[in-house]
Amino acid sequence: MATYSESSFNTDHYNNARPNYPDSYYETLLDYHQGDKNVAVDVGCGSGFVAFKLADSFKNVVGTDISPVMISQCEGNKKPNTTFKVCPAEQLKIDDASVDLIASAEALHWVDNNKFFPEAYRALKSGGTLSYWFYLEPIFTFPKANELYDEFAFGPNHLGPYWEQPGKDRLRNWLRDDDPSKFGFVDVIRNEFDPYNPTPTTLKISKTIDLNDMKSYLTSWSAYHSWKKDSANDNKVDIVDQLINDLKPVVGDGEFVVTWGTVYTLARKK
């Protein structure tokens, strides 16, 4: 996934616009975890949401990302017990059996998990935890808004062709084909939360927002970044402004609630 590595990618904006993860999920993660709390690694750490949160519970946290611009954003905010380094998930450059917990949020759909799962297994101590999770699309309470959003995000004449593949399709498939038990992990727990058919989860991401917040979220997307760079779009109305205008009569000028689909996986090294 190259877009997040471009020097023009605005990491501050990303940090402010993206959903964060609820404390209830970190409680699930720490309840599941049975080992020490010496070293945790956040893979594909982006602007560092997860690394900074884990730093409250682990002695040392290492954030890793393939993007130098994301890592330099983290460096600027770092805490005494956090370090950050540029490296691909598939090659963590971490000693064998040295890590208690590996976490990864909203990143492994860009990663070759046939390489990452063995790499995580190698780096974890026996009994160590691997957890990775994702949010999918924000779902409105207005069906017409969901229709407009889907066309905007995935339509062939909208952002559909601008997603890097196969990552986006893997995410849209909730990463159902990625199974850490095939790589030796045990005690695997997987939980999907679909706002259209809600079931219990501790990874519930819901926000009360207005159209300005929605615009900020949509303009943090890698696909939007790619759409903007495509000279074929130079003379067109901005694709996000167009959606926001179309949404206005549907959701109104005030606040509304959106809820993301989410999926998490917890697994343990034997």
Q: Please report, as ranges, the residues that interact with ligand SAM according to CB under 6 A.
A: 1, 4, 18, 44-46, 49-50, 65-67, 70, 88-89, 105-107, 110-111
- Copy the structure tokens of residue 10: 């605005």
- In whole angstroms, the minimum distance from the beta carbon of 245 to ligand SAM comes to 26
- Copy the structure tokens of residue 106: 């909203």
Cα separation, 64 vs 88, whole angstroms: 8
Of residues 104 and 148, the one with the C-beta less far from ligand SAM: 104
- In whole angstroms, the minimum distance from the beta carbon of 66 to ligand SAM comes to 4
Cβ-based neighbours of 139, under 8 Å, separated by 6 or more: 146, 195, 196, 258, 259, 260, 261
- Copy the structure tokens of residue 168: 């986006």
- In whole angstroms, the minimum distance from the beta carbon of 171 to ligand SAM comes to 9
Of residues 65 and 192, the one with the C-beta less far from ligand SAM: 65
- In whole angstroms, the minimum distance from the beta carbon of 193 to ligand SAM comes to 16
Q: What is the distance, to the nearest Å, from the Cα of residue 188 to the centroid of all Cα atoms in its chain? A: 20
- In whole angstroms, the minimum distance from the beta carbon of 82 to ligand SAM comes to 14
Of residues 68 and 143, the one with the C-beta less far from ligand SAM: 68
By the 8 A CB rule, do 168 and 245 touch? no
Secondary structure (H, E, C), 79-101: CCCEEEEECCCCCCCCCCCCEEE
153 phi, psi to nearest 5 deg: -75, -35
Cα separation, 69 vs 264, whole angstroms: 27
Of residues 4 and 251, the one with the C-beta less far from ligand SAM: 4
- In whole angstroms, the minimum distance from the beta carbon of 186 to ligand SAM comes to 25
Of residues 110 and 163, the one with the C-beta less far from ligand SAM: 110
Of residues 67 and 219, the one with the C-beta less far from ligand SAM: 67
- In whole angstroms, the minimum distance from the beta carbon of 164 to ligand SAM comes to 9
Of residues 107 and 240, the one with the C-beta less far from ligand SAM: 107
- In whole angstroms, the minimum distance from the beta carbon of 101 to ligand SAM comes to 15
Opening angle at CA 108, ends 102 and 110, nearest 5:
145
Of residues 66 and 258, the one with the C-beta less far from ligand SAM: 66
